[in-house]
Structure formats: structure tokens, C-alpha cells
Amino acid sequence: MHRLTALRQPKYVMLYPLLSLMLIFLVFPTVYAWYLSFNRVYLATYSNPEFCGFKNFWDTLTDRNFYRSLSFTATFTVVVVSVELVLGIVLAVFFNRPIWGKRLWISLLLLPMMVSPALIGIMYRLMLNEFVGAIAFYLKGIKPLAPRWVVPTVMMIDILQWTPFAFLIIYATLQTVPKELYEAAAIDGAGSFKKFLYITIPSVLKMIVITALFRCIDAFKTFDMIYVLTAGGPGTMTSTLSIYIYKLAFQGGNIGRATAASILLLLIFSIPMVFVLKRVIPREA
């Protein structure tokens, strides 16, 4: 009775709406997803699931297309995040000094990040069209969405859109670095490279890791931009795990196996994410 009385105190009562939302939008979907993953469920038989144990997980783990999608997703994530971080650091260092029209240039630089990925996909699909596309016209016979160029093309589009995100976080961090450190280093005879290596990088290293973590999460689950641009093709060349799961569920109608693939995707990405979080978050926290 004492515990029930304590739960009625205002400081606990105020938490009930939040807990209710978490149960509705987080706990219930997670439990229901596990339930579906252990059943044979199709769109046509959604109301009559049939228990099949680990068959959905086994079918997914023995599917070549799953590993092709996983390979492309991992490669895509590593390449685009690495390039975005390098370009973000370069741009942040470049703008971390007095420049004419700095606010205007930064505002223009951030514009791609403010456009939805689906709209970006539509824009580039038109511009890369071999018949009416402006970019395709100037490439003189090169087809950016042909099998030879499609993977670098989708990577480049992602880099152009999300490099501003890396730049913004690193630039904001550089603004907090005391200028006295650079002045003291200059007095000691340190050049620009040594200042960058021993002052700039250590000062923003933690935020670089956090930015990499956020971008890896976002890039690993990329769906809309690539799906609008190539639908995962040609063939399965640009099929991410998200597109693979979408096709399983809504084109193949296999809800149970698509749910099992979603859980595998979560488990695959959770392991490195937990490792990185342990490195980033101090133990005192």
C-alpha cells in the first residue's frame, strides 16, 4: 500500500503520459515485431499467423540477397561517412577564421541538408536522366545510373547532402576552442599543421566520433533517397538492407520474414554502436 501511495505523488503522476506513449510506440511494436518474426505471416494471411519458430531467421540468413544488401549497406556507410567527416573537418577549419560573407556562404552550404532525402532523390533522378537531365547532358555520354557508375553516384549524392551536417557540428565545436591556445602555439614556433594536429584535432575529436556515430546510424538505414533514385537497382546493386526489407514485406508480401530481417538489422548494428558508446560516454556518467 505504501508503494501505491508513493506512485500517486505528483512527481510520479506527471510521468504517466510519457510512460503510456513509450508503451504504445516503443514497447508494444517491439514485442509485436518479435511475435511476427516467429510466425509465417503474409499480407494475404495477416489475420491468420502460423507459428514457424526460427524459420524466418534461417531463411533470411541463407538468402544471398540479404548478404548482398548487407555488403552494399556496410560499404556505403563506411565510404560516405568517412568522406563526409574529412570534408566536414576541412570546411570547418576553413571557415573558422575571418572570411568575407561567411554567414552567407555557411547558409548556402547548409541548404542541401534542409531538403528531404526523397526530394533529393527526385531532383537527381531528373538531372541524371540521359534524355532530359542537365547533369547527364554535360557528362557527354556517361550514364551516371548505369551499372558501372550507379554506386559512386548514390554515394556522391549522399555526401553532397550530409557533409553540411558534419561541418556544422565540427564548426560549432571549433568555435569553443580558446584562441589563446593557437596564440601560445604560434609563440612557440608551431606551424599551421602542428596547430591542426595538436590543438584542433584533440579539441574536436570527441564530437567527430559522435558525428560519425549519428551519421553511421542514418547511413546504415538509408532508404528514401536510393529507393526514389534507383529502387535498389540495377538488379540489387544499390539495395540497402532497408530496401531489401521493404521489398520482402510489400512486394513479396512476406511480413514475418521481413520482420525477422528487421530484427537482424537491429542486432547487427547494435553491437558496434554499444562498443562506440562505451568509448564516447565517460564512465562517471
- Give domain status of residue 68, yes or no: yes
User: Facing residues of 39 across strands?
Assistant: 51
With respect to residue 48, please indicate whether it lies within any of the assigned structural domains.
no
Q: What is the pLDDT of residue 273?
A: 74
Residue 102 lies in a domain: yes
How many whole angstroms separate alpha carbon 12 and alpha carbon 6?
A: 8
Q: How high is the pLDDT of residue 24?
A: 77
- Ranges of residues in the chain whose predicted pLDDT is under 50: 1, 284-285
**Residue-level pLDDT at 266:** 85
3-class state of residue 252 by DSSP: coil
Instruction: Name the nearest CA neighbour of 30 among 263, 274, 272.
Output: 263
Q: What is the per-residue pLDDT for 284? A: 46
CATH, residue 174: 1.10.3720.10
Tell me whether residue 72 is in a domain.
Answer: yes
SS3 content of the chain, % helix, strand, coil (to 5): 75, 0, 25
Q: What is the pLDDT of residue 1?
A: 47
User: Is the residue at 274 inside a domain?
Assistant: yes
Q: How far apart are CA 248 and CA 256, in angstroms?
A: 9
- Within a domain: residue 34? no
Q: Does a structural domain hold residue 51?
A: no
Residue 186 grid coordinates: 604560434
CA angle, corner 149, sides to 208 and 211, nearest 5?
Answer: 10
Assigned C-alpha cell, 152: 559512386
Total structural domains in the chain? 1
- For residue 215, the enclosing domain spans 64-280
Q: Is residue 189 part of a domain?
A: yes
